[in-house]
Amino acid sequence: MTIEMITSPLLKGIRHGFFTRKGGASSGVFDGLNCGPGSSDQKEMVEINRARVAQAMDVGPDALLTVHQVHSPDVIEVDGPVGTPRPKADALVTATPGLALAVLTADCQPVLFADPDAGVVGAAHAGWKGALEGVLEATIDAMEGLGAKRGRICAVIGPAISQRAYEVGPEFMDRFLDTDPATARFFAGGDGDRVQFDLPAYGLARLRAAGIGEAEWTRHCTYSDPARFFSYRRSVHRKEADYGRLISVIRL
């Protein structure tokens, strides 16, 4: 099966892709393009999958850079391979051509950033915790540190869990309301005391409030399309032992 990636017109002229699970070497619950070294998938299959992604991005496997994601607001600037063990962070930025910045997700938001005029790109893993703590704004700040202009930056949120599939408890909502009561608009009523959180809308609001040029969501729900996307929440509901990780990549 051919490898598949989703692209956005906002990032026209910048090589990028939100890769689906299609076209990979893994099997079982990881069937397809699982690129997560932290999964219990066979290491050899993950390496094959990542090599296919690197080839699609026209870089060597060593130039496909990921970090040890920890749901933080931390960003690293890179100008070469990150080495091992991978640094703990949730976003990467670079002004170095030939490096492919990548994040891994399975319901959280993968966000790709670019200021083509400055030659600066970024990639962020923004789950609810990272987004709440400011990983998106931190990525923009780090790009500015490399010469990007905030008003020229475009950002695209890739496949992520949609509101209709993201049911949470009242204590979850309270964490947001305690920070900013206006975030109530990102929650809709569910069954009983449950509510449904709109993660992509929250991410877009944070990006736009940060003053960047343009931002959009590709409008793909990871939970609702098992043929194309891995989903942590779906794996829990199905009582599966583990789940695959999608990869999203951008490069100069």
Amino acid at 109: Q
Torsion of CA 142, 50, 237, 220, to 10 degrees: 60
Encoded tokens for 125:
């893993």
Residue-level length of the chain: 252
User: What is the model's pLDDT at position 192?
Assistant: 87
The pLDDT of residue 33 is 98
- With a cut of 50, which residues of the chain have pLDDT below it? none
What is the per-residue DSSP string for 33-98? ----TTSSS-HHHHHHHHHHHHHHTTS-GGGEE--B--S-S-EEE-SS---SSPPB-SEEEE--TT
The pLDDT of residue 84: 85
Token pair, residue 239, equals 């009582």
pLDDT at 190: 81
pLDDT of amino acid 155: 98
User: What's the N-to-C CA distance of the chain in angstroms?
Assistant: 27
Compute the distance between CA of residue 59 and CA of residue 87 in angstroms, rounded to an integer: 21
Spatial distance between the Cα atoms of 200 and 179, rounded to a whole number of angstroms: 18
Which tens digits make up the pLDDT trace of 68-94? 999 999 999 999 998 889 999 999 999
Q: What does pTM read for this prediction?
A: 0.97
Q: How many CA atoms lie within 13 A of 208 on its CB side?
A: 9
pLDDT at 221: 98
* Residue whose pair of structure tokens reads 């960047």 in the numeric block: 212
What domains does the chain contain, in order, with CATH numbers? 5-162+198-251 (3.60.140.10)
